[in-house]
Chain A
Amino acid sequence: DAGVIQSPRHEVTEMGQEVTLRCKPISGHDYLFWYRQTMMRGLELLIYFNNNVPIDDSGMPEDRFSAKMPNASFSTLKIQPSEPRDSAVYFCASSFGFYNEQFFGPGTRLTVL
């Protein structure tokens, strides 16, 4: 298996623009997690899905953030409109079962100018 795949790896955009981050989890995994990592706040859980259903989105910072998982092999995290304070590395991770090892993707480094 190729592991968790994220795209793009780097994204530079201007304030106010819409940003869409993509994730392909490991086949067979039933949990998918979206995290954000910054120097100030560390690694934060934004939202997670179980069998494509959002379970807990309490970590999503604002209504500008939304996430979807239309099927078991694809998820998106959208920021609209983007702001400079959204600049961070966004990670997607998947696991088989909640209490098991999470496999992380390489991350998307987002810079909002």
Chain B
Amino acid sequence: SQELEQSPQSLIVQEGKNLTINCTSSKTLYGLYWYKQKYGEGLIFLMMLQKGGEEKSHEKITAKLDEKKQQSSLHITASQPSHAGIYLCGADHTSGTYKYIFGTGTRLKVLA
């Protein structure tokens, strides 16, 4: 099973709607990162969360870390076609050695 599970796997929303993507870890989190990937391109860093309860925002995207639940959520307010792409969470499950893994990804499509 995947150590980082994202839900939903894919999402289609109408422009202007809000949406939430979740990332759940099966192991203790020492840092949680959100990236966005446009189809056929590399990943672009969105934000990093390190402390339980931490919440960060960038334009219309907000991410929150729930350390106890080992879960992070990414919320997009008033979605736009430019938000379309694949959202991936990445995490460090440090247990003696650095181990950086990525989630399964969520494909987002925003209909104009």
Distance between Cα atoms of A102 and B50 in the complex (Å): 15
Chain B 32-89 residues near chain A, CB threshold 8 A: 33, 35, 41-45, 48, 50, 88
Taking CB atoms and an 8 Å cut-off, the chain A residues in 32-78 that contact chain B are 33, 35, 42-45, 48, 55-56
Interface status of A96 (Cβ within 8 A of chain B): no
A91 adjacent to B42 (CB under 8 Å): yes
A25 is an interface residue with CB less than 8 A from chain B: no
Partner of A56, one of B2, B42, B98: B98
| Chain B residues touching A, range | 20 to 34
Cβ proximity bits A89-113 to B, threshold 8 Å, 1 near / 0 not: 0010100001111111111000000
Looking at chain A's contact residues, is the secondary structure mostly helix, strand, loop, or mixed?
Answer: strand
Given contacts A33-B100, A43-B88, contact A107 B105 (CB under 8 A): no
Residues of B within 8 A of A103 (CB): 45
In the bound complex, do residue A105 and residue B42 qualify as a contact, i.e. CB atoms below 8 Å apart?
Answer: yes
CB–CB A99/B42 < 8 A: no
**Count the A residues whose beta carbon is within 8 Å of the partner chain — how many?**
22
Q: For B45, list chain A residues within 8 Å (CB).
A: 101-103
Task: Known contacts A42-B105, A43-B105; decide if A104 and B43 are in contact (CB<8 Å).
Answer: yes
With the chains together, A55 CA to B99 CA distance in Å?
11
Known: A101-B45, A103-B45, A104-B42. A55 touches B104 (CB 8 A): no
Q: Which residues of B contact A45 (CB under 8 A)?
A: 100-102
Q: State the B residues within 8 Å of A (CB).
A: 2, 31, 33, 35, 41-45, 48, 50, 88, 90, 92, 97-105
